[in-house]
Amino acid sequence: MAAKQVVCALLWVLALVASIIEHAGGAVSDFVKTDGTSFVVNGEPFYANGFNAYWLMLKASKTSEMDKVSTVFHQASSYGMTVVRTWAFNDGGYRPLQSSPGVYDEDIFKGLDFVISEAKKYGIRLILSLVDNFKSLGGKRQYVEWAIQQGENLTSYDEFYTNFRVKTFYKNHVKTILLRNNTKTGVVYKDDPTIMAWELINEGRCKSDLSGRTMQAWIEEMAPFVKAIDGEHLLEVGLEGFYGGLDHDQEAIQHDSFASSRNVGTDFISNNQVHAIDFATIHLYPSWIPQADDKTQLKFVTDWIHSHSKVADEVLRKPLMVTEFGKISRFAGCNGVDKVAFYRTAYNVLYKLIRAKSACAGGLFWQLLLPGMENLSDSYEIILSECSYIANIISQHSRLISSIINPSLRRLTVTDQ
């Protein structure tokens, strides 16, 4: 009997490994699509389980550091992760992809080519963001400054959303990225299913117009522009999940007072209702409520995801992805009890919503680094070899998601969190 149990256990483990490889590290040959409030690949359910690594293109463009990209994808695949979100921009400044409007550094571009080819090799899907709201890698500020240098009389960086010349700069960048012929794979970006989705802007905000109309108009212009070039890939805005001043059913958001009170000129409902937007996104950081104790912050984690999933289900009728979530621990290192509790709670909520077939279809933590990358530390990072408790939570989450895709593996997983 003991020998039989051992054999069965080994078979179960092999089946689990095969399933994880199939769903998280196999060949990427079909585009991710939406079906109602779900993601699907070739008709089968797909769940986003992964991380952010904005730095991939910059590391890949240096021969001495390319191996970091390969290592992080290999590591992610071994943990069952399926999606990585990264930047397809670096505007002006140090080692830019785009040094001035329409002028690109081919070596940096080849770095992005390598990122996509390595992602494909390891069965990882990519979400590529096209510009930043913030200035660290140029972003909308750099676009406005370029326009000023060309004679535009601009007084606000929010004119990124309204000035014709600036919008033309952005559209040209979008077109350049989408029509790029990958020097590693020979596949034009718009034709590559390794890319899961495009993101219009990382955490776009327009505080000069809290009515939300400026941001809404920009999305209504740019989303169809992207789709006119690329009708295959999914498209999302890059929102954090806040509600603004646009008119919509207040009953839909009355349960989410924090999201309603933090107006940054975006609107989770109206922005995501644009026809060309395929799925909704939110970000999640307990640092938004810094005075709250740990218990209150964990409740916020649960409420934030649940409330937006409900709106995505009942109002938007589109999938939802938590494209950033993370926490800075009060304790040294990444194994602090508060940070571990945050990750356990976030993944528990994600798993239960996925199992319930809600609109919430997964999440990506911020951010994954490797040992020796301390210069990119922002205190949110996870280094899997050093963050053992969180690494185990991520690994368990991957197994649980795999068991949803393949129910025969259900008893292989640990007891529900």
Residues 6+ apart with CB under 8 A from 43: none
**Rounded mean pLDDT, 234-258:** 75
Q: Residue 14 pLDDT more than 60?
A: no
Q: Residue 27 pLDDT more than 90?
A: no
pLDDT band at 15 (very low <50, low <70, confident <90, very high): very low
Which of 131-145, 206-220, 236-250, 315-329 is predicted least confidently?
236-250
| Structure confidence by residue, pLDDT tens digits, 63-103 | 999 999 999 999 999 999 999 999 999 999 999 999 999 99
Residue from 199, 203, 236, 240 carrying the catalytic annotation? 203
Which residue, among 170, 165, 180, has the nearest Cα to 138 in the 3D structure?
Answer: 170
324 assigned to active site: yes
Q: What residue ranges do the domains of the chain occupy?
A: 45-412
**Rounded mean pLDDT, 192-214:** 97
Specify the higher pLDDT residue, 23 or 361: 361
pLDDT at 193: 98
Q: Residue 417 pLDDT more than 90?
A: no
The Cα-based distances of 147 to 150, 155, 164, 175, 177 in angstroms read 5, 11, 10, 19, 20
pLDDT band at 411 (very low <50, low <70, confident <90, very high): very low
| Structure confidence by residue, pLDDT tens digits, 145-161 | 999 999 999 999 999 99
Q: Long-range contacts of range 159-163, CB-CB < 8 Å, 24 or more positions apart?
A: 161/206, 161/214, 161/215, 161/217, 161/218, 162/214, 162/217, 162/218
What's the pTM value of the predicted model, to 2 decimals? Answer: 0.92
For the chain, give the percent of residues with pLDDT over 70: 87
β-sheet bridge partners, residue 83: 50, 125
Q: Residue 5 pLDDT more than 90?
A: no
Q: Residue 170 pLDDT more than 70?
A: yes
> Do 206 and 162 meet the contact criterion of CB atoms below 8 Å apart?
no
CATH architecture for the domain at 45-412: Alpha-Beta Barrel (3.20)
Residue from 145, 159, 199, 324 carrying the catalytic annotation? 324
| Structure confidence by residue, pLDDT tens digits, 288-302 | 999 999 999 999 999
Q: Residue 351 pLDDT more than 60?
A: yes
Q: Residue 114 pLDDT more than 70?
A: yes
pLDDT band at 1 (very low <50, low <70, confident <90, very high): very low
